[in-house]
Chains A and B, each alone.
Chain A
Amino acid sequence: MAPGWGGTLLVGLLHSLEIAIGATCLGLLIGTAGAFGKLYGGPVTRDLLAVYTTVVRAVPELVLILLLYYAGTDLINQVLAAMGYSRVDISGLAAGIFVLGFVQGAYSTEVIRGAILAIPQGQIEAARAYGMPPGLMLRRITLPAMLPFAIPGLANLWLIATKDTALLAVVGFFELTLATRQAAGVTKAYLIFYLAAGVLYLAVTLFSNLVIGRVEARSRRGMPSVKEAR
C-alpha cells in the first residue's frame, strides 16, 4: 500500500469533485436552456419543462440516480446495437455526470428562470429597442444582468451537487464516500475514516463558501446592499 488509505480517500475526493463540477456545468446548460424555454418557449415546450422540473424535484435523488443510471446506459447500448455497433461500457464518470447533471438541471431551471424574471424589464425592452438580435441580447444583457440574482441559488446548487455525489456510492461509483467505506471495511477503523471523509467534505463546503462570498460581492458591485434594503 504505497500511498496508504489516505491517498485512496484523496483519489475519491478528486472523483467526487470531477463529478460535481461536470454535473454543475451540465446542469447550468440544461438550466439556461430550460429557463429560456419556460419563459419564451411555445406552449408545448413550457408544459414539458414544467413536467420535467416537477417530476425531478418530487422524486428522491437516489431513485432518479438508479433509474437514469440503468435507463441511460441501457438506452445508449440499445441505440448502439440498433446501429450495428457492439455494446460499450459507459464509464462511471460520464454516467454520474449525466445523471446528476439531469437532476441539477431541473433545479437550475427554476433558479435561472427566477433570476431572469428579476431583471428590470426596461433593460430588456431597451435592448430590443436598440434592435439587438436575441443572441447578442442574451450575451450582453440577459446573462450578465441576471447573474447577481442567480448566484446565491446557483451556489446553493453547487453545494448540493458536491453532497449529492455521495449518492453515486450506492450505484458503485468510486467517489469519496465509497472510498471511505472500502478503507473502513478493510482496516476496521470505521470511525476514523468516516470522520476524515466528513472533514474533507466540510473543507470543500467551507472553501466553496469563501469563494462564493467573493464572487457574490463582485457580481453585486454597484447594486444597493441587501441589508440596507431591508
Chain B
Amino acid sequence: MSEATAINVAARASLWLKPHRIVLILIALGLALCAIFFMRWDWLPQYWAMGLMGIWRALWILAVTCALGFALAVPLGLAQAGGPIWFSAPAKVFCTIIRGTPLLLQLWLLYYGLGSIFPQYPWIRESWLWPYLRQAWPYGVVALTFSFAGYEGEVMRGAFAGVPRGQLEAARAFGMSRWKIFRRIWLPQAFYRALPTLTGETVLQLKSTPLVATISVIDIFAVSSKVRQDTYLTYEPLLLLALIYMTITGILVFVFSRIEARIPVKIG
C-alpha cells in the first residue's frame, strides 16, 4: 500500500472518528439502548405481520402514485412550456390549485365530497367502477397522484423550457417528425434536467403517504395509530414509525443517487 492511499484512508476514517463524534455516537447508542430496555416493546410480536403489511402498502402507494403522477406531469409540463394557450392555461390552473391548497383538504374533498355525491347517481352505482368507488384507497391514490403531478408538472415545465433551442432545431434540420423529436431529444434531456429534483419530490411524496390513514386506508401510519389505541402507549409506536420512515427515506436517497450517478452529467 502506498503512502498516499494510506493517508487517504486515514483521512476518511478521521472524518468520522473525531473525538467529539465518538462521544456523540456513544451517547446516541446509549439513548437507543435506554429506549430498547426501558420502554415497552412487548406488543411488537403481535403487530409484526400487520406492520410489514402496512409498510408494504405505503411503499406500493408511493410507487404507484409517483409513476402515475410523473406520467401526468409530462403533459402538464409540456403544455405549459410550449403548448398553445388552451392547453397551457388549464395546466397552469391545475398546478396552481394543487400547489395552493393542502393535500389533506384535497384528500378529504375527494373522499368525503365526491364520495358523498357518487351514490346519488344510479348509473354510477350500476357501473363497473362502483366496487372501487366504495373503497377508500382509490381516492387516496388519485389525490396523491394529482399532488405529485401538480408539483412535478411545475418542475417539468422548467425542464422542458431549459432544453437548449439548438438541440430541437438540429433535430428538425435532420427531418425528424415532431413526435420523434419529443421522444428522442426533448423528453430525455428534460428528464435528465428534472432528475435531481425527482429525489426530493419522491421523499416529499413518501412523507405525504401517511395522510391516507385519515381516510381509513391501513398503511404503516394507521397500524401505529392502532397500536397506540390498543396498548395506550404514546411514544413507542411513534418512535418506531419515525425510524421506519427515516430508513425508507435513506434507502430512497441512496437508490436515487446511484441512478443519478449513471446518468451523464454533461447535457445540452
Q: Point out residues on A near B: beta carbons under 8 Å.
A: 43-44, 47-48, 55, 58-64, 66-67, 70-71, 74, 159, 163-167, 169-170, 177, 180-181, 184, 188, 190-191, 194-195, 197-198, 201-202, 205-206
A-B contact count (CB 8 A): 112
Give the residues in chain A near B165, CB-CB below 8 Å.
none
Please determine whether A47 and B203 come into contact, CB atoms closer than 8 angstroms. no
Please determine whether A67 and B221 come into contact, CB atoms closer than 8 angstroms. no
Interface of A is mostly: helix
Is the CB of B188 closer than 8 A to any CB of chain A? no
Q: A55 to B207: give the CA distance in the assembly, Å.
A: 12
Q: Sample 16 A-B pairs with CB under 8 A, ordered by A number.
A: A44-B24, A59-B207, A60-B207, A60-B208, A60-B210, A63-B221, A63-B245, A67-B239, A67-B242, A70-B238, A165-B102, A177-B102, A180-B105, A181-B112, A201-B102, A205-B99
Binary interface encoding of chain B residues 94-121 relative to chain A, with 1 for a CB under 8 A from any of its CBs, else 0: 0011011111111011001111110000
| Beta-carbon nearest neighbor of B113 in chain A | A191
Q: A165 to B100: give the CA distance in the assembly, Å.
A: 13
Give the residues in chain A near B246, CB-CB below 8 Å.
55, 58-59
Which listed residue, A44, A61, A194, touches B105 by the CB 8 Å rule?
A194
Q: Which of A163, A164, A206 has the most CB of B within 10 A?
A: A163
B-side interface residues, number (CB < 8 Å): 41
Give the residues in chain B near A70, CB-CB below 8 Å.
234-235, 238
With A44-B20, A166-B104 given, is the CB distance from A61 to B238 under 8 Å? no
| Beta-carbon nearest neighbor of A176 in chain B | B105
Q: A202 to B245: give the CA distance in the assembly, Å.
A: 30
